[in-house]
Every structure is written in C-alpha cells, then in structure tokens.
Amino acid sequence: MAETCSRKLVVEICNAKNLMPKDGQGTASAYVIVDFDGQRRRTKTKFRDLNPQWDETLEFLVQDPESMASEILEINVYNDKKTGKRTTFLGKVKIAGSTFAKAGSEDLVYYPLEKRSVFSQIKGEIGLKISYVDEDVPPEPEKAAAEEKKPDEAAVAPSEQKTDDAAAAPAATEEKAPEKEEEKKADESNKEAADQKPAEPPKDEKAEEAPAAAASPPAEVENPPVAHTEKAIQTKETTETEKRPDLGVSDLELRSLAGDRGRRAYDLVDRMPFLYVRVVKAKGANSEAESTVYAKLVIGTHSVRTKSKSDKDWDQVFAFDKEGLNCTSLEVSVWVEKKDGENCTETSIGAVSFDLQEVPKRVPPDSPLAPQWYTLEDSSENSPGNDIMLAVWIGTQADEAFQEAWQSDSGGLIPETRAKVYLSPKLWYLRLTVIQSQDLQLGSGPEAKAKGPELYVKAQLGAQVFKTARTSIGSSNPTWNEDLLFVAAEPFEQFLVMTVEDVTSGQPVGHAKVHVPSLDRRTDDTTESKSRWFNLVGDEKRPYAGRIHVRACLEGGYHVLDEAAHVTSDVRASAKQLAKPPIGLLEVGIRGATNLLPVKSKDGTRGTTDAYVVAKYGPKWVRTRTILDRFNPRWNEQYTWDVYDPCTVLTIGVFDNARYKQDEAGKPGRDIRMGKIRVRLSTLDTNRVYTNSYSLTVLLPGGSKRMGEIEIAVRFSCSSWLNLIQAYASPMLPRMHYVRPLGPAQQDILRHTAMRIVTARLARSEPALGQEVVQYMLDSDTHVWSMRRSKANWFRVLGWLSRAATLARWLDGIRTWVHPPTTILMHVFLVAVILCPHLVLPTVFMYAFFIIVLRFRYRRRVLLSMDTRLSYAEAISADELDEEFDSFPTIKSIDQVRQRYDRLRILAGRAQTLLGDMAAQGERLEALFNWRDPRATGLFVVFCLVASLVFYTVPFRAFVLGWGFYYLRHPRFRGDMPSVPFNFFRRLPSLSDQIL
C-alpha cells in the first residue's frame, strides 16, 4: 500500500548563549551537528563568539511519520578544531519526537546544554525552533516504481520477502539523498568539513552504517533498522487496523505497553482465579409482545440475573471469585417475565448445567474464548429447541473482560465500586501584569474631591480573586506595574475579568475581559508577551469608562505544585516543549489488606468495611475496586507510572467506600480514611521488588488508631544508570523557578489554589473521587496550626542536635582520658597534623569512605512507613487533639478570643514549617551516611574516594587558595542555576514523608 503523504522535519538553529570557552583564549568557535534517524546536518562555524547567532534551517526526511514520536533528535555543539588544538565538546540536547510541533505553531525554546559525561564542564543554552511539515505525494510514481522493481525482487529474494524489499529500497534512496545534500552544504560552508568528521563524535559511524544497512538486501541483513522493520509490519496490518492518529503522545509509552509491560503484567501480585460467564443471547424462546426475557446464573448461594430484554440479546460478562464459591456446578437458565397489569409472572423455559471441574482455563495473551450454542433442557418439555449462546472459562484478574464484567466481590456493576484511573488537570500559571490605565471616568462627588481618588485593580479568574496595591493620584491616569499570578487549568476558564475600583466612592469604575485561551504561552523569561489596551465598560449610562494597559501570558516554564513540597511526585514544567523522556518505570502491585477494623455498621447488627485503595503519583491517580464486607480484602491489582525524577514520592491511601449508598437525603456518603503510606523512590534499589506489609494508622479525635495493615509490592526499574545519576546533579524544579522565583507566601497561596482546582475537577468525574479523599492524599491541611506537628518537628530538631551533643561528649571524654588508648591515638593524630598538614583532608575522606562502606551492611532493607512516635501521635492530650480537629476559624469562644486564636494558629503554622525545614536539613545529612538513598550514598562514597586521592596529590595550601579565588570569582563567571552540591543535598531524603 503506497503512502500518499511524506513528512519533513524542520529544525531552525537560532542562537546559543553563555557557551563555555574552549579554545584556550577565553572564547569558542561553535558549530552545531544535528542527528535524526540516521541523517546528519551541520551548521556553519561562528568564530570566537560565546553567544553565536546562526539562524540556519536544517531539514530532515521522516521515513515513518507514525513512529516519529519515538525518535530522538540529538543536537551536539562543538568547538571548531581550527581555532584550537582539537575539536572539543560544548554541550548536547536530546529532544523526544513527541514534543515536535506542527508547522505554524512552533515557538523559540531555549534548551540548557547537557553534559556528555558526569565530569564534563558545560554551560549555556541553545535556542531552537522545531516543527514538521506534511507534504502530499502523488501515488502514481510510487506504483510505477514498485512495478519496475517487482521483477528484480523476484529474482533476488523469494516471494515472502517482496514486501520487505519494496520498503527497504525507498528507505535507502531517502537516506542517500540527505547525505549528498549534507556534503554539499559542508563543502560550501567549510572546505575542511570532510577532514573534521573523523574527529567529531562517534555518531559518524552510525550515520555511515544506516545507509549501508538500508541499501543491503533484506535476505542478508540479520537486524534491519527499527524504523524499516516497523514500517513493514505496519504495511501488513493496514488491512486489519486503522491508522493511529497523531495524538501528541509518546510512542515509547505505547511500545512499552505492548512490550515489556505486557509481558510483566501482574507479576507483582498473586493471580486470582475467577469464573467467567459470558451470556450472549438466546433463540427459540417464544415471548409475547408484553414480555421480556432474562438469564439467571446460579452457583450455590450465588444468584445473579442479566438485564431483562425483549430481543433476547444480552452480551454480558459475569466474574465470580472462585475462592468464594461454595458449589461445584453452574446452572444457567432462561426465564420469560410477563406483566399482566400489576401482576408479574416468571416462567423458566430451560436451563443448562456446567461442572466447574471441566471448565477450560484461559490466560492472556490467549485469544478470548468463543461462545457456543447450548441446548436448554426444559423439564416440562412444552417448548423444546430453545438454545442459549454463552462461554464459560476460568481466568484471572488480568483477563480483558474483568474490568467491564459483573464482579461478585465488588457488588456487581455499581459504578462507585469499580477500578478507575483518574488524571489531574494540566495546570498553568497565568501572569497578569497591570501596567496603567488612562481616561478613567471617575466620580465627582464631594467625598471624592475632598480625599482624591484611591484606585486599585481587581482581577478574577473563576473563584480566584487578586488585587493590586492602592494608588492615590491627582489625575485619572494611575500606574501600578504589578504582577498578579493565577492558577489556570485546562480546559481554561473563558475570561479573566479585570475591574478598576475606587476605594473612596466604593463603586467600580469599569471592567474589561481577557479571553484566556487566546493568551500567549511562553516557556522562559527571554521573551516578553505583547502588552494590550482594553476598553473599560461601566454601567448602561457609561459604555466607555476609560482603558487599561495590561500584559498577560500563560507561564509554561514553571511546575505548578498541587501537593505538599516535601512529598511531591512530579516536577515537570507545564509546557510540553520542555518535557524530557522518562528515566524509569514505577510498578506498584496492590496485593491486599489484613485485619481491617470495622468502620460502619451493616443493617444495624454488625460492623463492616468496604475498603478500596487510592494511589497517586504525578498527574495519574488510580483507584482499585471496592471489596465489599471483608476485613481481609485481596485486590491484587497492578499499575505503572513513568518516572521522570527519582527523588519523588508515591502516596497510597486506604479508604472505606460510603458513596455507593445514599443517605436519607439522597446524597452520597463521605468516604472514611483508614490510613496512608508514602514511598520515596530514591530509597529503592533499581530493578528490585519490595513486597512488605505496612501498618495503617489514622489520627482521629480520640487519638491515633491502628486500622490494619496493607500489603504492597513496589519495583522501580531504570534502563540507564547514567540518566539516573545525572538527575542527582540537576535542579529539582524547572529553570524558571530559579531565574524568576516566586515568593514563599505567594507559592503557598498558589499551591492551595491548585489543590482546590484538582479537588474540584476529580470530584466532577464519574464516578467521582471524593473531596475528602483528594484532600487527604494531597495533605491539604499541613498549613494549619497543630500542636502535635509542632512538637514533632521540635523533637526532630532535637534529635538532629543530639548528634552534635554526642560528638561534644566524645571530645570531652578524650580530654578527660576516659578511654586512654583513644586519647593516645588523638595525640598521635595531632602530631601528624602538625607535621603533615596535607594529609588531613585525604585522611578525613578516607575515614568517611571506610565508615560509610562498613555501614552498608546495616542499611535498611525494608521500606519505612508512617511512624506514630515520630509524628508525636502517641503522647498527645485530648485538648491538643480537640485543637487540631477544630474547624477554621474556630467556634470555641467569643469574637475577640477567636481572632487572637486564629492569628496564633497562623503564626504557629509558619513556625512549624520552619522547624520542619530545619529538621529536614539535618536528616538529609544523616541519610547520606545511613544508606537511606543507596544511589546518593554510593555517589558520595565514590566522591570520598576520589577526593581522598585528589587531595593527596594537590597541596592543601593550593587547594585553599584555589577555593578562595573560586568563591570570590566575578559575577560574570557565575551561573544562574544552583550548584551541583546544592542540588545533590536538596535531593537527599528526609523523614518528612513519614510524618502523619
């Protein structure tokens, strides 16, 4: 089947900024090499310029448009060897094909240059515009070429390989053409380009091998290129499946769903046997006009019926938990339901029985079992010849029919009890800069003339309202130049309303609206959005009340926090252009729970629990099915997430379902929290399965209460150790958080606004994820004053300071000769320091190396759960609990006491956050020596070993002098991003994720 369109990738190399000088003279002569799908292009060399401007457009042929999202565009920047001793590396950028924009919608994006290895010295960024163009290709020449090649293909290869030959030959032609074009451009720009290629990176070998592999006959190639193989496979499948549309999703994820994830599905949980019965339809059952037919399934005490239909076509699947069955036979009968006025009669027209010992088993990826016709046996023999079509098999929860089947352990087809996956809305920051206003039609009352106008601008987006500062002026042209920041969620609110109000008169001067979906989107701070004038509309008598000058844009370079900062699960920027490929895969198997306590009564006679689990990581929320009326439920469900940063946290909560039943007022109940756990991914070894049981503890007005245990299995798999190690040296948040940071108070307000937006959106899903569930998972109440949390943070600080007190006592013991051998060794060490000062640092780092390596044996091999003792939940008084569960604002006292009480809680809430941050710093340092994060500690161990060798060779005085000059270096040589040690320390785990 010939293709009717071709795709071309257009890469515009605009410029670069702040490159690292590499030519030995304080400058660099940079050129860019771009590789895509075996094709290579090169720009001209910009001599002696650390901020080069190329403005060159490079074009690449996309051989398979449908697999473009899985390709990687690699951009390497080099220093020309003519200006130095050799060609040196200046940085690289790798961009996933899923982020390419269609021609006309591309933006100038500055990508930070990445290192080729951990020890590379790279800085700067490169500005690119990337887009693709689809061009129509007439099918006639392709058909003619295919007909000409058929005789040659028949002579070279057998008939089975004709399709592969036809696909490989055009691919070879397509790859040779870019090579010729590349050589032509290189000769025009630089005569020595051919001599420089061998000194350039090893990508040359790949570029030379790709055309050779494509040009060789398929019969002689053992491993053809991936793009050609996929193209041939897709050509064979076009008659069976439709072409997949370009949805902007990564094909890497789609391939993993069909590849590794499919093979490893449900390998972290136990396989649960289910008896599946698919009832399709019946025939031969004579029914009158006012009668309906349904099928009934009976297994011991289990009895369920299909929907009543007049056409006898049901097509329903039923899944029975095999462990809960109390009979060895299944009976399927067909009934006719006839209504005669208010009376209703039901008549059986026959049944068919199955012995469960003879039911076949089916395990995916086996194809579904085909239904068969079975003759209904009628005891009355009045209507013989009735048949029913059904299929019966024994499978597991991995069966495709399980999710939509009637499930015996979760109440049948109740929507509120089914397993679901939810996605948080994509959040953006909306920045509104209020500049000034002109020609305001102000009031002319005596009060306004006496005091003068005092104006401010109020902006509203949905439920968010922010105001500028007040401005007292003598004219009608006030100026503010103030930024207001909002949280916008896709799909965006229609309008942002701006209102100019006069404080003296108490009346609005006028208002204007900004259409939010039409706003510009920017990814960095290098480009400013255009400012606009809007006419202000007053009342009916004043259609024109002046005009206002504003600048508004959607900030895509920030990550919008919607959860507590110390337990964040996603740090990616909002803009799709800044997305990076995932570094690993997180797999979670929710196995079951044991010894759950009853939380509600059933029929007023006994306690019961209808438990389900919610897991949240990044924007993806998963919710298991609800197991009704069991204190030891077994879910055995497995879910996966893509991991973009290893220093993130997975949150798992257990709840009792009260929404599938309505109260007397007809409203759904509120789900009851039963506890939650958190798992920090940096504490997990890669490609290792952690299967443990964790205690569920919840804080109630009567104190902390243990609700049972949950058993989960976790595996964090990563294919590239280099990407994982580089993540520890990169900043936690996107670049905009550091070059244009947000204030702590402003970020806290925006975080709680984002929480409310996420809560409202998930509550509008069907079935809804309750507000109480989302708030509990996001820790939305961490900012409220709590004496318990304050005490917990205080004792965390004391626990960290106790290490310093222990060291002081140890030194005092040496001074007082408590242990004479130790004191003698300290005398020897003091003499060694005086005589050989250059051995101090090597000895310290060598000691640290050996001590931490010895502690490797004592590292924790079991993941930690919530710690009630650390949370100070065991020794808390009733009055403090009453204060923590008190509503905000309080209703415990009179107005004056309430105001003081609320003010105290706000101030104390800030104090407890400060205490928590102070405690986290010490706990991060302690975690570095206790192997809590194996990778971070391993990196530190290697650093200690290397540092001991380096400081052995480098004189101490030279090191101190060099460090001093480096510390006092000119601001021109300073970067605008945090340093590597700072990023490394910020990524170390603390005990914040174990606080209730």
Q: What is the mean pLDDT for each group of 10 consecutive residues in the chain (996 residues)? A: 68 90 82 90 89 90 83 89 73 86 82 79 88 70 44 39 38 40 43 39 38 35 38 40 41 42 68 91 69 87 84 87 84 84 78 89 84 79 72 89 87 86 94 91 59 83 91 76 93 90 83 91 86 88 88 92 88 88 92 92 84 94 92 92 93 91 75 92 91 90 88 91 88 90 90 93 90 90 78 83 86 82 82 80 88 86 77 74 72 70 75 83 88 89 90 81 74 78 87 81
pTM of the full structure? 0.70
In the prediction, which pLDDT does 233 show? Answer: 39
3-state secondary structure 213-229: HHHCCHHHCCCCCHHHH
- By the 10 Å C-beta count (0-12 exposed, 13-18 middle, 19+ buried), 356 is classed as middle
Q: Tell me if 234 sits within 8 A of 66, measured CB to CB.
A: yes
Instruction: Please state, as a whole number, how many other Cβ atoms lie within 10 Å of the Cβ of residue 965.
Output: 9
- By the 10 Å C-beta count (0-12 exposed, 13-18 middle, 19+ buried), 567 is classed as buried
Q: What does the radius of gyration of the chain's CA atoms come to, in whole angstroms?
A: 35
Distance of alpha carbon 41 from alpha carbon 31, whole angstroms: 11
Q: What are the Cα distances from residue 214, in Å, to 60, 161, 220?
A: 17, 15, 11
| 101-102 vs 125-136, strand pairing mode | parallel
In the prediction, which pLDDT does 84 show? Answer: 58
**H-run or E-run covering 388:** strand 387-395
In the prediction, which pLDDT does 664 show? Answer: 65
> In 240-386, at which residue ranges do the beta strands (DSSP E only) sit?
274-283, 291-299, 302-305, 313-321, 329-340, 343-355, 372-375
In the prediction, which pLDDT does 596 show? Answer: 93
Q: Tell me if 768 sits within 8 A of 659, measured CB to CB.
A: yes
Distance of alpha carbon 215 from alpha carbon 226, whole angstroms: 14
In the prediction, which pLDDT does 440 show? Answer: 84
Sign of CA dihedral 544, 548, 551, 552: negative
DSSP character at residue 250: -
Amino acid found at 664 = E
| 532-535 vs 547-555, strand pairing mode | antiparallel
Distance of alpha carbon 456 from alpha carbon 478, whole angstroms: 9
Vertex 265 angle, CA 261 and 268, to 5°: 120
In the prediction, which pLDDT does 4 show? Answer: 54
pLDDT in tens, 772-781: 999 999 988 7
In the prediction, which pLDDT does 162 show? Answer: 36
Question: Would you say how long the chain is, in residues?
Answer: 996
Bridge partner residues of 903 (DSSP): none
Residue of 560, 575, 587, 546 lying closest to 778 (CA atoms): 560
Dmax over Cα atoms in the chain, in whole Å?
A: 113
Phi, psi of 941, rounded to the nearest 5 degrees: -65, -45
Domains of the chain, start order: 6-135 (2.60.40.150), 273-408 (2.60.40.150), 427-442+453-555 (2.60.40.150), 576-778 (2.60.40.150), 787-994 (no CATH)
DSSP character at residue 653: E
Distance of alpha carbon 613 from alpha carbon 652, whole angstroms: 7
Distance of alpha carbon 51 from alpha carbon 42, whole angstroms: 18
